[in-house]
Amino acid sequence: MKHATQRPFSFDTRSVMLIAALAMGGTASVHAQTPAAQPAPRTQSSPFSTGASAPAPSPANAAFERADSNRDGQLNAKEAQTLPAIGNRFEQLDKNRDGMLSREEFHEGAKS
């Protein structure tokens, strides 16, 4: 006569179920904390725009937009002072001597 040995299935089954539940809960919390996609930044157009498309986004364009507080598409000496690297060379960068930096003059100064 063989002796019947009882296997501890109930302990093994409970352990597997507990591990599976913890794994599923951990996965759900990781997905819950994933950041949402950020919307693309909006560009502000000048009230004097001619309908031409806005310049491509770049660090120099972003700096120009931040400094152009009156949104006229040019930087005066006061606005240029918010960017020390540009403000300190304002007269040198103002090629046409109109007292304003156009976007083109600004980009030339940003390159140098």
Q: Per the domain annotation, does 14 fall within a domain?
A: no
The reply to whether 33 falls in a domain is: no
Give the model confidence (pLDDT) of 46-82 as tens digits: 555 555 555 557 888 899 999 999 999 999 999 999 9
- 98 in any annotated domain: yes
Q: Which CATH number belongs to the domain containing residue 79 in this structure?
A: 1.10.238.10
Residue 54 lies in a domain: no
Give domain status of residue 83, yes or no: yes
Q: How many angstroms separate the Cα of 94 from the Cα of each of 101, 104, 110, 112?
A: 6, 10, 13, 14
Domain count along the chain: 1
Q: Is residue 30 part of a domain?
A: no
The tokens 């109109």 sit on which residue?
98
Distances (CA, A) of 51 to 44, 48, 55: 12, 9, 12
pTM of this structure: 0.48
* Residue 88 structural domain: 59-111
Please name which of 49, 60, 50 lies closest in space to residue 105, comparing C-alpha atoms.
Answer: 60
Is residue 105 included in any domain, yes or no?
A: yes
DSSP tag of 94: -
Which CA distances in Å does 107 have to 19, 26, 93? 59, 50, 10
Higher-pLDDT residue of 9, 3: 3
